[in-house]
Amino acid sequence: MGVTKLLRKGRRNRAIATNKVNAIKQLTLKPTLKNVDVEAIKASFAEKKAA
């Protein structure tokens, strides 16, 4: 008896697994840290409140 490979199903399974891995990687990516001047931000809020 010959054995047939289900090529399309194998490709689909591999694609589904790859998509899941990529989705998880995308969700766990951390944004690049930027130097933020907290005091300047607080001052801008104070200016807005005063205006």
15: containing domain:
7-50
Note the pLDDT tens digit of each residue in 10-35.
999 999 999 999 999 999 998 888 89
Instruction: Answer yes or no: is 22 within a domain.
Output: yes
Could you give the CA distance from residue 51 to residue 48 in angstroms, rounded to a whole number?
Answer: 5
Instruction: Answer yes or no: is 2 within a domain.
Output: no
Instruction: Answer yes or no: is 18 within a domain.
Output: yes
Could you give the CA distance from residue 18 to residue 16 in angstroms, rounded to a whole number?
Answer: 5
Instruction: Answer yes or no: is 1 within a domain.
Output: no
Instruction: Answer yes or no: is 24 within a domain.
Output: yes
Instruction: Answer yes or no: is 17 within a domain.
Output: yes
Helices (H), the chain: 7-28, 38-50
Whether residue 8 is predicted with pLDDT greater than 90 in this model: the reply is yes
The total number of structural domains in the chain stands at: 1
Instruction: Answer yes or no: is 25 within a domain.
Output: yes
- Give the pTM: 0.51
